[in-house]
Structure 1
Amino acid sequence: MTSYNASLRARLMPIGLLLIAMSCIQGGASLATSLFPAVGPATATSLRLIMAALILWAIFRPWRWRVARRDWRDLLLYGIAMGSMNFLLYQAINHIPLGIAVALEFTGPLGVALWSSKSRFDLLWIAIAIAGLAVLLGLDHGNSDHTINLTGVLCALGAGGCWAAYILFGQRAGEVNGMQSAVWGITIAAVVIAPIGLVNAAPAITESHVLLIALCVALLSTALPYTLEMVALPRLPTQTFGTLMSLEPAFGALSGLLFLGQALSLLQWLAIMAVVTASIGTTVTGRSAEPIEAPYPD
C-alpha cells in the first residue's frame, strides 16, 4: 500500500504543479488589470517583463552558458514573439473579459496543433473550435448587449498569432537549453517592449504600490510558473501536458469571475468549453510527428 501511495503521489504531483502554474498565470493576469488605471496596459506589460527578466536572471544565471551565433536568430524571433504576445494580451484584457481573451488567444496553439496533426478527427475539432469562437465573437445572435469590443478581439487574436510564432520559434530556440532559452527570450521581450510602455509612462510608475503589484505580477505570471513547469515537465508525458494546457481558457474565465467579477453568460461558458474540448481532442487524437513543448507564455 505504501508503494502504491508513493506511486500515486508521483503521478499526481506534476499534474498538481501544472494546475497551480496555470492558476498563477491567470491570477497574475487578473492582478495586472489593477495596474491599468494607474499606468495603462502597455506600461504594465513593460514592468512585468523587466521584473520577470531580472528575477529569472538572478535565479538561473544564463550567462553561464554560451549561446552559439547561429542560435541568436531563433532566440531573437522567440523573444519578439513572446513580448508581442504579452503586449497584445494585456491590450485585449483591457477591453474584453479575461476568459474570452484567453480563449481567443488560444487559437494560436490550437492552430499549430491542428496544422501539425494528421488525425482524421481534425475536421471535427476545427468545427467545434469555430462554433465556440463564433459564439464568443457574437455571431450567434443579434443582441447588442453581448457585442464584444472589436479592439479587444483583434488584440486577442493577434496575441494568438504571436503565441503560434512563439511555439514554433521556441521549439527551435529550446534546442539550445530549454530554461536558458526561456530566460533569454524574456530578456529580449523586455528590451523590445519596454520602450513602448516606458516612453510616455505615467508618473504613477514610480509609486511603491505600483512597483509592488508589478513585482507580484512578474512572480505569478512568469517566475513561479516557469519554475513549476521545470519540475513537472520531465515527469509528464507530452500528451498529458498538452491536455492540461488545453484547460487554460477555462482557468482564465474562472480567474476573471473570481478576481475581477467578470460574469459570463451560459452561452459564453459553453463556447469557452468548446475551445477547450477542441484543444483536448487535438492533443489526444493528433499524431504530430514532432510533439511541441514550450514554456508557459502568459
Structure 2
Amino acid sequence: MFQQEVEVLKQLNHPGIPRVEPDSYFRFVPNKNNQDDFLHCLVMEKIDGLTLEDWLRQNNQLITEAQAIDWLKQLIVILNEIHPKYLHRDIKPDNIMVRPNGQLVLIDFGAVKALTQKYIIQQQQITSQNTSIGTLGYMPPEMMNEHEAYPQSDFFSLGRTFVRLLSGKHPSDFTQELQTQKLFWRNEVKSFSKRLLNLIDFLMEPDWQNRPKNTQKILLYMFDFLMVPAANNNYKNTNIVGSKRVKPSKDKLINSGLLIFSIVLNFILICLLIKVDYLRHVVVLLMFVVVSILLISLVFPLKFPLFIKIVYKLLLSRKI
C-alpha cells in the first residue's frame, strides 16, 4: 500500500493532494544480518493543519453553510483531478485536512484503486489480516455488499462526510429507512438550506447509479449556490464568494439611470448603423454588442459578471 500510494501521488499534481518525490518509498532494515526483516517507509509532504475530525473537536462548533459550500466545492475539484484514473475509496473527515489558509487536502491514498474502462473495480474487502478498505458509516453499500467500487462510491463517502460536518454526529448514529436504506439525518440540520441538504442526499443515494454521474454534474448543480445564494431557504450567511450586499434604494436609482442611458446610446448607434456604409457596418455592430454587454453588467452587477466568470472557468479551466 505504501508503494501504491507513492506511485499514485507521483501522477497527481494539485494543492489539495500531498506531494511526494520519486524515491519517497524505501525499506529500512534494522538488523543488517537479517535482510528479510525490514520496515516499509514513506516520505511525503507535511500538511500543516488539522483533519476535519480534529477541527470539529477543537472548535466545538459546526461549520456554516458558506463554509460547507466552499469545502464541498474544493473536495469536488480534488476528486475531479483523481477520478480520471483512480478511486480514493476511503473519504472521511479523518482523511481530509484543512490548512491554515482554508485549503483542504485529501490524504491517505493507500486504498486508491485504478479505474478500469468499465468503471467497475473488483476489490477485496480485507487486503490483509490488519488492513481493511473503507470505513463503516462512510462506506457505500456497493463496497460493503458487492465488493465493487465506482466513481460514485467516492461521492457517497463525501456525502456522509458532510453529514458528520453539518450535524456533528457520526453517520452510524442515525437510523436508516428499511426499504430505501436512506439516512434519517436532516432533522439534525434544520438551519441549513434545503438545496444543500438535497445535494448531500443526492450524493448518498443508496443505488450508485442514482448518484451524480461525475464531478462536473455536481459543479453544475452547485452553480445555483453561487448565482443566487439568497434564494436558499433559511440561508443566513451572505459571505459566499462573488456575492455582495446591495442597498436597494441607491442601486435602483443608479440602475434606472444606466438603463435609460443604454437605451439612448443604443438608439444613437442604430441611427448611425442606418447611415453608414458597409465597411463601417461591422464596426458599429461590434460597438453595439460591446456597449450592451457592459451596460447589462452594470445594471445587473451581481449575477451577470458571476455568470460570465463561471462559464469562462468551466470552459477553460479544469480547476473551477
TM norm structure 1: 0.29
Q: Which has the higher strand share?
A: 2
TM norm structure 2: 0.28
Q: Which has the higher helix share?
A: 1
By relative contact order (CA 8 Å, sep 6+), the higher-ranking structure is: 1
The structure that has the greater radius of gyration is: 2
